[in-house]
């Protein structure tokens, strides 16, 4: 059986990061989302952080109104964020851990310690018709907890794997990729849809695309960095080609 289509979710947070550096309205992250969709993105991801360091409330509202592809609302599992998500009604919410002091989302959710709170938030969002995913470490314990929480989707944190590659730590990279492979297979056994993201570039996206259980990659920082040099449509086309090439080797 051939592997299912691998969707590309484009994270536009860092267009807002650049905008906020000057305090004005440009560059507009919604324009980036529309351009990404025109260039083949299957969905748009945006993270409304508690400190609003990049995406702001009005960006989320505009994304929901203006884009024609699914909106994935990344958020912490707090009462404030749940209220905004219930009001916005995105296609999906990806629940992530959040620390003010971090530069980016460091590590997956504590699905064991935070089990009860995550279960309540997941149920609330699901009742509103929002597809919930949990951003987790690629571990079997985290997957079992995700199932117990009732999450239909998990997103595996690929940061440790990508970091190991970036630092030339090939043994560690192999170990981390092994964890991702095992976790993706376990997700399928549990009937949980499997996504992946964080730190992916052309090479790592090509490699991970060969895991047939993974049906969506969410990619932001690298793509926006490439877009500075070659433009967003060209960066997306190259990412799509890398994913398709990797997918041809799925099995």
- What residues make contact with ligand PXP under the rule CB under 6 A? 11, 13, 47, 74, 94, 96, 104-105, 135, 155, 197-200, 218-222
Shortest Å, Cβ 155 to ligand PXP: 5
| Residue with Cβ nearer ligand PXP (2 or 197) | 197
C-alpha distances (whole Å) from 51 to each of 75, 101, 103, 106 are 12, 10, 12, 16
Active site residue 167: no
**Angstrom distance (rounded) from CA 32 to CA 67:** 10
Comparing CB distances to ligand PXP, the nearer of 220 and 246 is 220
Closer to ligand PXP by Cβ: residue 1 or 164: 164
In the complex with ligand PXP, the residue whose CB is nearer, 200 or 215, is 200
Tell me the closest approach of the beta carbon of residue 244 to ligand PXP, in angstroms.
19
Least separation in angstroms between CB 200 and ligand PXP: 6
Residues 201, 202, 208, 211, Cα dihedral to 10°: 150
Options 14, 155, 198, 216, the catalytic residue: 198
195 given a catalytic annotation: no
Selected catalytic residue, list 47, 54, 157, 195: 47
Task: Sort strands 193-197 and 153-157 into parallel, antiparallel or unpaired.
Answer: parallel
Q: How far apart are CA 246 and CA 223, in angstroms?
A: 17
Asked if 40 contacts 240 with a C-beta cutoff of 8 angstroms, the reply is yes
54 is a catalytic site residue: no
Least Cα distance to 222 among 10, 1, 6 occurs for 10
Active site residues: 47, 74, 198
């Amino acid at each position: 059986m051939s592997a299912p289509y691998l969707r590309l979710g484009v994270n536009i947070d860092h267009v807002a990061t650049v905008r906020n550096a000057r305090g004005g309205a440009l560059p507009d992250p919604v324009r980036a989302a529309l351009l990404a969709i025109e260039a083949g993105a299957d969905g748009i991801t945006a993270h409304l952080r508690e400190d609003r360091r990049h995406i702001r409330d009005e960006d989320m509202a505009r994304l929901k109104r203006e884009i024609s592809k699914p909106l994935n609302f990344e958020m912490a599992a707090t009462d404030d964020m749940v209220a905004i998500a219930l009001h916005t009604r995105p296609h999906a919410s990806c629940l992530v851990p959040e620390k003010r002091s971090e530069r980016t989302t460091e590590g997956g959710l504590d699905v064991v310690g935070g089990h009860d709170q995550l279960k309540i938030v997941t149920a609330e969002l699901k009742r509103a018709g929002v597809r919930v995913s949990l951003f987790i470490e690629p571990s079997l314990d985290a997957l079992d907890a995700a199932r117990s929480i009732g999450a239909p989707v998990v997103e595996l944190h690929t940061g440790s794997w990508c970091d190991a590659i970036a630092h030339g730590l090939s043994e560690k990279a192999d170990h981390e990729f092994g964890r991702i492979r095992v976790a993706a297979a376990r997700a399928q056994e549990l009937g949980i849809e499997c996504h992946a993201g964080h730190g992916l570039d052309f090479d790592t996206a090509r490699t991970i695309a060969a895991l047939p259980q993974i049906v969506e990659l969410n990619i932001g920082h690298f793509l926006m960095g490439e877009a500075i040099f070659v433009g967003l449509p060209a960066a997306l086309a190259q990412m799509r080609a890398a994913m398709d090439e990797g997918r041809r080797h799925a099995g």
